[in-house]
Amino acid sequence: MNVEHAHVHAVGGSPLYQISPEHLAAVIALSGLVVGAWLLRRRGEPMLTPLSWLLVGLLAASAAIHAGLAIAQDGHGVALRAAFAIDAVLLALVARRVLRGRSAGRLGIAVLVGSIVAYWASTLGGEAPDQIGIATKLGEVLALAIVLRPAPSARWRAVRSVAGSGVVSLLIVGTAASSWIGAFRAAASEPGAVAGHHVRAGGVAAPGTILPVVADRQPTPAERAAAMDLVLRARIALARYADPAVAAADGYRVQGMQGIDFHAGNPAYENDGRVLDPARPETLVYAVAPDGRPVLLGAMFLMPKIGQPGPTVGGPLTVWHAHEHICFSLTPPGLAGLLSPLGMCPVGTIDMPLTAEMIHIWIVPGAPEVFGDLDDAWKRAYLRATAARP
């Protein structure tokens, strides 16, 4: 039991749901569009269709954002700043072309596709995606959809419409996927963890976890003893729940158990006013072994209110955490994943901006961590070993 291991690091959630301080200049640059619109109005607005005006606005907004990024990226080298500046100029040229009543043409298609694909390469290469980047790319995808729309009298109208829809769909999926992968990579690059909170999902650090700032120190003897006592009491109290039927009789929702991280909650215990009671955990955590046998791994303890800090009886060994923007299923109640980069949860689930704080205690023999997160690879190896026993 590794109660000595106490890394100190704070994780501030997923970049997907935030705005990077480096990108605030891009937001400020958008204000320049107001000045540009005022000057254009004074000179006399060109005769454009509403859809063409929307296209101009999308192109100009993206150009302004890229210009702001070119100014703000001091720590990212000349090459990246030059790329943002070139993108801004090209987008502005296409916007100017549309303003003059001409089609965006192949130049517009090439510039928009190039800008979107460059974003994919950037996020996959380690740049953390944020709300500004995702919104900008989705705006460019919309602009491309306008550019690719077939003219009313165009030959092969249906074919061009289907082809254009396919390209737009591919770019939306690619933008979402690259943003998701980029967020996981940004989380994985965070140096260190807190008390075993590697926040892992399939071996890759998962974004969206909020950890408090913890003092950079070793636990005191009293804290170490308190942590050990808590684990021992949990092992004794939870032993009866190795049988899921006993857990079900006590109100835990064990129906539909599957996978290696099945959380069986108990609504009655979530509102009983008890905190960190080993005899009444709010959630039991099971895994299904290769032979189909359920294995009790441990328990998760939940604070009754969002924003209320959990008791750190073991000091830096017992660090609680919360999750931001998780998708919660109502039927049956439970976690269904994280909010997607496009701001959507699976059908039948709702977005929870922030959860109450929680902590896991793992009671399985040989667990490398008794608090925090238990590595999925270790779980699978343990389950294979237990299934091989007679």
Least confident of 252-266, 317-331, 367-381: 317-331
What mean pLDDT comes out for the span 286-303?
A: 94
| Residues 207/183, Cβ–Cβ less than 8 Å | yes
pLDDT at 12: 53
SS3 assignment for 185-247? HHHHCCCCCCCCCCCEECCEECCCEECCCCCCCCCCHHHHHHHHHHHHHHHHHHHHHHCHHHH
pLDDT one-digit tens code per residue, 330-380:
766 667 778 888 888 888 888 888 889 999 999 999 898 899 888 889 999
Q: What is the largest CA-CA distance in the chain?
A: 86
Tokens of 253: 């929702």
Average pLDDT, stretch 141-167?
A: 81
Report whether 321 contacts 285 (CB < 8 A). Answer: no
Residue percentage of the chain with pLDDT more than 70: 84
Whether this model's pTM surpasses 0.85: no
In whole angstroms, give the CA distance from residue 52 to residue 149.
Answer: 12
Summarised one tens digit per residue, pLDDT across range 36-81 is 777 776 676 677 888 999 999 999 999 999 988 888 765 566 888 8
Task: Please state, in angstroms and rounded to a whole number, the distance separating the CA atoms of residues 213 and 193.
Answer: 11
Amino acid identity, residue 160? R
What's the pLDDT at 333? 63
Using CA atoms, how far apart are residues 298 and 284, in angstroms rounded to an integer? 6
